[in-house]
């Protein structure tokens, strides 16, 4: 089934695109998106915001595809367990985290999500122009923000890097005047992928085409006439103190796994109230959340939990 981008007439001058990690938002499970949490964060402004979400139901065989990558997935999880320490609990953590990251091993899945995300951004630019012109406004006064979670941060980073530099997409920040008001990456595994997938790069197809792996991490930007123009006004990283996908374990930062890009705003959410006080409890919380296909009460990786905890911060970012 071909991907059909979502189209919305904007009720106001703001729009937000939610980008989920591939997996439990597939096959049209719209409930996997934290729409209610985002609406709570937006408060009285919520009726004035167009909320988009990109699903992966067009990848009908993504679960079956996983079977074809067992050797790579095993190597990915082994490399992750080795970095964590290779204890029994670390192996269980690696199992859960590996199930979040495995699509990086499939060029077809990566390209399908990339093309869909670019098509959705194109549609949002068209919606922005139509909505602004119908209201008699300047489209440049209408703002788009992106909020991504988990592997969705990887896809977002790859796409933003591509559109900032490739003329064909007509989404460059300087040449095409397309800049995002904010890009918020929650529990980003960009650095984690850089480290772990980099260790098994022979199993990662088209590795040299991945901005995450092939060059130093930086806020996606375009250089024109000697001037560097970033793709966004605010590039924000939000993760939790107990979220291994976001580069933390039991309150300690894992420097090899935490995305720390020059110029980003870094927020680390305290998660001490989740009753996770050991590697075993971390493994149990992650495993139960992945198995359930969504957030559990003590899930340190829960998307909605990040939005709820940072509601005031997000509202300020989205409306300044």
Which tens digits make up the pLDDT trace of 56-93? Answer: 878 877 767 788 888 899 999 999 988 888 677 778 88
- DSSP β-bridge partners for residue 16: 51, 145
CATH fold of the domain at 14-318: Rossmann fold (3.40.50)
**Which helix (H) or strand (E) is 75 found in, with range?**
helix 70-84
Question: In this structure, are residues 101 and 196 in contact, taking their beta carbons and an 8 Å threshold?
Answer: yes
Q: Confidence band (pLDDT; 50, 70, 90) for 22?
A: low
- The yes-or-no verdict on residue 26 having pLDDT over 90 is no
Question: In this structure, are residues 171 and 123 in contact, taking their beta carbons and an 8 Å threshold?
Answer: no
Give the pLDDT of residue 291: 58
With b for 16 or more beta-carbon neighbours within 10 A and e for fewer, the 4-34 pattern comes to: ebeeeebeebbbbbbbbbbbbbbeebeebbb
Q: Is 319 helix (H, G, I), strand (E, B) or coil?
A: coil
DSSP sequence for 192-221? HHHHHHHHTGGGSTTGGG-HHHHS-----E
List the single range of 22-36, 189-203, 261-275 with lowest mean pLDDT.
22-36
What are the structural domain ranges in the chain? Answer: 14-318
Q: What pLDDT, in 10s, does the model give residues 229-287? A: 999 999 999 999 989 999 988 888 999 999 999 999 999 999 886 777 777 777 777 76
**Which helix (H) or strand (E) is 315 found in, with range?**
helix 311-318
- pTM attached to this predicted model: 0.92
Question: 């098509």: which residue's tokens?
Answer: 119
């Amino acid at each position: 089934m071909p991907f059909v981008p979502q189209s919305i007439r904007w009720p106001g001058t703001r729009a937000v695109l939610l980008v989920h990690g591939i997996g439990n938002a597939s096959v049209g499970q719209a409930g996997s998106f934290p729409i209610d949490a985002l609406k709570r964060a937006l408060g009285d402004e919520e009726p004035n915001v167009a909320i988009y979400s990109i699903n992966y139901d067009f990848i009908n065989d993504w679960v079956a595809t996983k079977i074809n990558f067992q050797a790579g997935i095993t190597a990915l999880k082994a490399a992750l367990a080795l970095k964590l320490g290779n204890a029994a609990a670390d192996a269980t953590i690696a199992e859960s985290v590996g199930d979040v990251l495995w699509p990086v091993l499939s060029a077809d899945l990566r390209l399908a999500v990339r093309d869909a995300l670019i098509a959705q951004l194109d549609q949002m630019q068209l919606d922005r122009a139509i909505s602004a012109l119908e209201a008699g406004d300047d489209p440049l006064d209408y703002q788009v923000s992106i909020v991504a979670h988990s592997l969705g941060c990887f896809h977002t980073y790859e796409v933003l890097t591509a559109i900032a530099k490739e003329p064909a997409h007509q989404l460059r920040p300087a040449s095409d005047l397309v800049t995002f008001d904010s890009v918020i990456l929650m529990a980003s595994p960009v650095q984690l992928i850089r480290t772990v997938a980099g260790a098994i790069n022979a199993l990662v197809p088209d590795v040299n085409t991945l901005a995450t792996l092939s060059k130093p991490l930086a806020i996606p930007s375009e250089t024109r006439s000697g001037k560097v123009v970033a793709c966004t006004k605010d590039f924000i990283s939000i993760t939790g103190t107990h979220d291994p996908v976001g580069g933390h374990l039991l309150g300690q930062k894992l420097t090899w796994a935490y995305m720390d890009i020059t110029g980003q705003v870094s927020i680390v959410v305290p998660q001490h109230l989740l009753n996770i006080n050991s590697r075993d409890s971390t493994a149990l919380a992650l495993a139960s959340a992945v198995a359930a296909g969504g957030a559990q009460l003590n899930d340190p990786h829960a998307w909605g939990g990040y939005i709820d905890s940072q509601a005031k911060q997000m509202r300020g970012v989205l409306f300044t």
